[in-house]
A and B are shown apart, each in its own frame.
Chain A
């Protein structure tokens, strides 16, 4: 099915199942510990051995020698694979560094060996006996000192490095009110609960990987390419994923080294990345240095917006696209954005929840707050005044839906914004300085083609198969809701099977495109199945209504199951997209409001209230969507207040590489959270009329927190995370 004209009324609009707050259909399996994650697939194949990965002890250089004698002689050891013994390996399209290093080392904790043994303990103990001598090279590990050498990168996933409109330089120079500030965001780790993990099993030249991966089809391709085998010989199975946040978009060392270890040992091998290896071995959200220039008239109209961002990555990597939202968020006749990329020898930078927008809005939405203050304007009113209903760089192009102002107004009302003292540092509650902050949320909508197969069995059950993944987002449930709505059956008559490369290729989970895209694919397959069923029952497919387990047309009403009386009815289809996303700018919007309290003595920051108002198309499952948004708000609170991979600029690695050192919020950090979804349908996105929310939820949160801290204390922190050491010298004297 091709989606190339805006959707009209269709069976989804009945909203009997879709749009209802629905508990996760796989939830009981997860909460009872019976949903098997990759590392727990003891049942999948017998005789599994254990692999343990050895990470490089240096960031850049070469392996001078590896002595495996002691390790090989250790109890239980079955095989050891290094680059020297692995044979020729390719590199996946989505990987920057090689997943098995040596002799060249590209980053700290790059995998250099896998030790396979009968037990996990034996593999780990033997891994400690691998003796490696290195020759260190000098690396470049400091973004701030690398700006001069940063280059203009090529377009990255369709995002051009630079944009300009009007005459920014002249407009900014002559602006009556100006802001010109630098902001920094640190490297972030995905810190998902489930570590990267895989079980590999070879059957002749065919490889099966039970793994934890967000993008099945991408990763089948990259496994094949890395191992140099045909993609038909690779099967990936990933039905349950304990969090990804972008860290599992790609094939990582666990999968490739499990496959190599299994080949060498002649047995299935299971591998999980130990927590202390994850931060440096896998990908992370790269740090940015951003400069924002805003020019405005005294009455608060932005005349010029300039946003530049610098980030670093390994050679061959890409930039953090932190200026993307600035091209679309506010009106101003004169504009420029630019991204520059430095080569760093730190671990590989890549996507993490809302790549680009998350760090970009961390900076931009502080700058907007600062400009509002310079103008003496309320920050909500200032944002509303500078709204645009068209793409500011292509004014002929409208947003398909844009309710940013409504989000801001409704949020302000609900939050009690009107009672706010506009002056910072004046609200006191005992020992606490109290402040409130606001930020806009923005994240583009993306549609990706997505296929599914739907079966109606003899019992009248509907079975959906697609290689879509559920990374804790609720994919199982919204797909079941979609099929139930389309075929007129209750939810418990639908079974959803996900995450297997034997199933039709879906959009996968990333870029908040999963919900709308994967359900649209299921819609297409269900539409085809409806036709097949109607024909089978002798009804007019164009007129057939599917409801209450029956198909009705022309005065006849027949039980759905009848269509499968002599065997399953199966349909498979893919949703593809025309150019509606080019004709219209499709984006999601929101507003975040935060109340923060700062201990006047110590500078400790504790959140008190958080509110998000989101306009993101049709909300397919308000319960799952709310979970996505409150999780993203929590992650945004972490980015605001604590998350930072600490770079050792001498040795070139992230020092705090475990969950004791890399702090993410705990329950005690998260206060009352509220989420409001505006009633919105966007017929330009798909027949589902939906968009994504999982990344929108994190966009702007950190800036709202930073702005609340400013409002509480009068201290403006432009370098994340906002921690007490950045406040301590400027807090008021203690009586």
Chain B
């Protein structure tokens, strides 16, 4: 770990101003991922701006009947919120499928979205990794790739995004609210938030340097049956091999998003339309153009079968 300086800020404006003053700074909230990355010198910020005390830790109704979740709302609190549990069960179920109680107590809503891949080559600084060290290559391609992406990957990177919560939020059409260095607020649909790796896998989101997430908003509830099935080798405390989040309406329509298959929570609007025709049709639409290695080819049938099981469960 490199030496770094630290300051705590009280307002978003102070946070972005601090960033503008200190090149090489990073925001830190729960720190459940960033500190690990700093210990391994994968992240080497010269300055940490602690945003964990910003008054962004409430969940409020929005004018259009949705919820605005403050960026600093802890994963535990979000999963347990009565409105989330009643109207956005997918979010609650996805959250408790992730990490551990201790980590969820620390981890924040914004931090969850910004956590970085768990590709083991990304974590080993002896290995080439375009995400960690642009231009160095990708050791995962042709290597141990059982956990890696099957859609949306590139010649430069096949890492997946590890978040469960983001899968649920993607299915529910969440929007990310930010404020930039100049104090200007903007809204980014979660669908547009993650950048495809292309030839620049180190650039992961639509955020500009110093831009701070202030909230995530969920539109008004869509009803239906919410199921999140996270598939993994051990029963807890593991990242998804694949995960399937669905909202299914009584008429069989609905929406579906996948985790563990790509650089972002994977949702294809055209696939939603296939839901009444069943898992095979949906999976074909979701994973069209999938590219697999012999180690991760299982993810294609696994997605289809998991979805089939989930849809059967939704029917009751």
Beta-carbon contact of B309 and A599 below 8 Å: yes
Chain A residues with Cβ under 8 A from B143's Cβ?
A: 648, 650-651, 655
Beta-carbon contact of A655 and B2 below 8 Å: no
Query: Of A128, A276, A661, which is within 8 A of B2 by CB?
Result: A128
Residue of chain A at shortest CB distance from B303: A602
Query: Of B120, B127, B236, which is within 8 A of A666 by CB?
Result: B236
Query: Of A657, A724, A729, A735, which is within 8 A of B124 by CB?
Result: A657
Known interface pairs A57-B126, A603-B302, A650-B142; A657-B120 also in contact (CB < 8 Å): yes
Chain A, range 411-440, C-beta contacts under 8 Å to B: 431
Chain A residues with Cβ under 8 A from B120's Cβ?
A: 646, 655-658, 661
B29 contacts the other chain (Cβ, under 8 Å)? no
B6 contacts the other chain (Cβ, under 8 Å)? no
Known interface pairs A601-B309, A666-B236; A125-B1 also in contact (CB < 8 Å): yes
Interface string of B212-241 (1 = CB under 8 A from A): 000000000000000001011111111101
Q: How far is the CA of A723 from the CA of B233 in the complex (A)?
A: 7
A305 CB, min distance to chain B CBs, angstroms = 33
Residue of chain B at shortest CB distance from A121: B1
Beta-carbon contact of A735 and B301 below 8 Å: no
Beta-carbon contact of B233 and A724 below 8 Å: yes
B291 contacts the other chain (Cβ, under 8 Å)? no
Query: Of B3, B123, B229, B301, which is within 8 A of A728 by CB?
Result: B301
Query: Of B1, B123, B146, B233, which is within 8 A of A641 by CB?
Result: B233
Q: How far is the CA of A199 from the CA of B121 in the complex (A)?
A: 32
Q: How far is the CA of A196 from the CA of B308 in the complex (A)?
A: 46
Beta-carbon contact of B309 and A735 below 8 Å: no
A118 contacts the other chain (Cβ, under 8 Å)? no
Known interface pairs A648-B143, A666-B235, A734-B309; A655-B124 also in contact (CB < 8 Å): yes
A139 CB, min distance to chain B CBs, angstroms = 15
Chain A residues with Cβ under 8 A from B279's Cβ?
A: 734
Query: Of A646, A658, A729, which is within 8 A of B144 by CB?
Result: A646
Chain B residues with Cβ under 8 A from A657's Cβ?
A: 120, 124
Chain A residues with Cβ under 8 A from B39's Cβ?
A: 124
B293 CB, min distance to chain A CBs, angstroms = 12
Number of B interface residues, CB 8 Å? 39
Interface string of A48-77 (1 = CB under 8 A from B): 000000000110000000000000000100
Beta-carbon contact of A666 and B234 below 8 Å: yes
B282 contacts the other chain (Cβ, under 8 Å)? no
Interface string of A627-651 (1 = CB under 8 A from B): 0000000000000011000111011
Beta-carbon contact of A728 and B305 below 8 Å: yes
Beta-carbon contact of A601 and B237 below 8 Å: no
A347 CB, min distance to chain B CBs, angstroms = 14
Beta-carbon contact of A734 and B308 below 8 Å: yes
Beta-carbon contact of B40 and A276 below 8 Å: yes
Query: Of B118, B139, B236, B306, which is within 8 A of A602 by CB?
Result: B306
Chain A, range 144-178, C-beta contacts under 8 Å to B: none
Beta-carbon contact of B305 and A601 below 8 Å: yes
Beta-carbon contact of B231 and A125 below 8 Å: no
Beta-carbon contact of B308 and A601 below 8 Å: yes
Interface string of B144-159 (1 = CB under 8 A from A): 1010000000000000
Chain B, range 120-147, C-beta contacts under 8 Å to A: 120-121, 123-124, 126-127, 139, 142-144, 146
A604 contacts the other chain (Cβ, under 8 Å)? yes
B80 contacts the other chain (Cβ, under 8 Å)? no
Q: How far is the CA of A728 from the CA of B142 in the complex (A)?
A: 22
Q: How far is the CA of A600 from the CA of B124 in the complex (A)?
A: 36
Residue of chain A at shortest CB distance from B295: A725
Beta-carbon contact of B298 and A728 below 8 Å: yes
Chain A residues with Cβ under 8 A from B306's Cβ?
A: 601-602
A665 contacts the other chain (Cβ, under 8 Å)? yes
Q: Which of A128, A601, A603, A604 has the most CB of B within 10 A?
A: A601
Known interface pairs A602-B231, A656-B144; A276-B123 also in contact (CB < 8 Å): yes
Beta-carbon contact of B234 and A663 below 8 Å: yes
Beta-carbon contact of B127 and A724 below 8 Å: no
A542 contacts the other chain (Cβ, under 8 Å)? no
Beta-carbon contact of B146 and A725 below 8 Å: yes
B312 contacts the other chain (Cβ, under 8 Å)? yes
B41 contacts the other chain (Cβ, under 8 Å)? yes
Q: How far is the CA of A137 from the CA of B2 in the complex (A)?
A: 32
Chain B, range 1-26, C-beta contacts under 8 Å to A: 1-3
Q: Which of B120, B139, B313 has the most CB of A within 10 A?
A: B120
B171 CB, min distance to chain A CBs, angstroms = 19
Chain A residues with Cβ under 8 A from B236's Cβ?
A: 666-669
B182 CB, min distance to chain A CBs, angstroms = 35
Beta-carbon contact of A128 and B237 below 8 Å: no
Beta-carbon contact of B235 and A728 below 8 Å: no
Q: Which of A604, A641, A663 has the most CB of B within 10 A?
A: A604
Residue of chain B at shortest CB distance from A648: B143
A182 CB, min distance to chain B CBs, angstroms = 19
Q: How far is the CA of A35 from the CA of B210 in the complex (A)?
A: 46
Beta-carbon contact of A735 and B312 below 8 Å: yes
Chain A residues with Cβ under 8 A from B232's Cβ?
A: 604
A606 contacts the other chain (Cβ, under 8 Å)? yes
Chain A residues with Cβ under 8 A from B1's Cβ?
A: 121, 124-125, 128
A412 CB, min distance to chain B CBs, angstroms = 27
Q: How far is the CA of A734 from the CA of B305 in the complex (A)?
A: 7
Residue of chain A at shortest CB distance from B128: A651
Beta-carbon contact of A725 and B309 below 8 Å: no
Q: How far is the CA of A80 from the CA of B237 in the complex (A)?
A: 38
Interface string of A269-297 (1 = CB under 8 A from B): 00000001000000000000000000000
Chain B residues with Cβ under 8 A from A648's Cβ?
A: 139, 143-144
Residue of chain B at shortest CB distance from A662: B120
Chain A residues with Cβ under 8 A from B229's Cβ?
A: 602
Chain A residues with Cβ under 8 A from B40's Cβ?
A: 276
Q: How far is the CA of A724 from the CA of B237 in the complex (A)?
A: 17
Identify the B interface with A (CB < 8 A): 1-3, 39-41, 118, 120-121, 123-124, 126-127, 139, 142-144, 146, 229, 231-239, 241, 279, 298, 301-302, 305-306, 308-309, 312-313
Q: List 7 A-B contacts (CB under 8 A).
A: A128-B2, A601-B306, A602-B302, A604-B232, A641-B233, A646-B120, A660-B239
Q: Which 10 A-B pairs have the closest CB atoms?
A: A601-B309, A725-B298, A57-B126, A668-B235, A668-B236, A734-B308, A646-B144, A655-B144, A642-B233, A601-B305
With A604-B232, A641-B233 given, can you name 16 additional A-B contacts, CB distance below 8 Å?
A128-B1, A128-B2, A128-B41, A600-B309, A602-B306, A641-B234, A651-B127, A657-B120, A657-B124, A660-B118, A660-B239, A666-B234, A666-B237, A669-B236, A724-B231, A728-B298
